[in-house]
């Protein structure tokens, strides 16, 4: 992503731990937790990998700067926040399969709820600063793999 190369340019004040965390996240094809990032960095950097506290602080900083987005997938049951790379000023909406946990990023040019934001501001004088949209259901693969209800035949001897 062009964002990563920009961050490694001259005059960048991003801390080393945040650069490394962002680099690790950019290598992932899916959302990652801080613990998953730590494991990945340990595999590549060994003892030189940043600690979990540094990773959490880096994720917080990168989110405030708009380089990453936090996603909550509470249905998984681990209460871990997940993160994904975004271009500053952008955010993504997701479809999340409740069976296999597949995460599908919606490919919308416009925000799906921008009209709602405008209506809320007009009606209530409330200016939204951010929002999260995650739709939970079953992906196509899980729908195809669902077994029809099985009936158990009882035999009498």
Find the domain containing 16 and state its range: 1-88
C-alpha span between 41 and 77 (Å, rounded): 24
Whether residues 18 and 69 fall in one domain? yes
C-alpha span between 140 and 34 (Å, rounded): 29
C-alpha span between 136 and 96 (Å, rounded): 5
Q: What percent of the chain has pLDDT over 90?
A: 29
In a domain, 157, yes or no: no
Q: Which helix (H) or strand (E) holds 70?
A: strand 68-72
Residue 31's pLDDT is what?
84
In a domain, 150, yes or no: no
Residue 152's pLDDT is what?
47
pLDDT in tens, 111-125: 678 888 889 999 999
pLDDT in tens, 19-42: 999 999 998 877 899 999 999 999
What CATH number does the domain containing 63 carry? 1.10.10.10
User: Which structure tokens are listed for 106?
Assistant: 């919606």
Whether residues 14 and 69 fall in one domain? yes
C-alpha span between 68 and 84 (Å, rounded): 5
Residue 76's pLDDT is what?
61
pLDDT in tens, 6-16: 555 545 688 99
Count of structural domains within the chain: 2
Q: What count of residues does the chain have?
A: 157
Question: Which of 95-105 are b and which e, b meaning 16 or more Cβ less than 10 Å from the residue's Cβ?
Answer: bbbeeeebbee
Q: Which residue has the higher pLDDT, 17 or 78?
A: 17
């Amino acid at each position: 992503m062009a964002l990563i190369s920009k961050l490694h340019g001259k005059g960048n004040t991003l801390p080393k731990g945040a650069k490394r965390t962002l680099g690790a996240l950019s290598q992932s094809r899916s959302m990652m937790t801080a613990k998953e990032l730590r494991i990945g960095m340990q595999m590549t950097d060994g003892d030189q990998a940043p600690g979990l506290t540094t990773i959490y602080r880096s994720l917080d900083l990168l989110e405030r700067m708009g380089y990453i987005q936090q996603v909550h997938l509470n249905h998984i049951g681990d209460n871990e926040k997940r993160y994904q790379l975004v271009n500053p000023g952008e955010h993504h909406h997701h479809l999340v399969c409740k069976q296999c946990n597949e995460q599908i990023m919606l490919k919308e040019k416009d925000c799906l709820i921008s009209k709602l934001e405008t209506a809320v501001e007009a009606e209530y004088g409330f200016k939204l600063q951010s929002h999260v949209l995650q739709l939970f259901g079953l992906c196509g693969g899980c729908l195809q793999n669902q077994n029809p209800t099985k009936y158990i035949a009882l035999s009498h001897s």
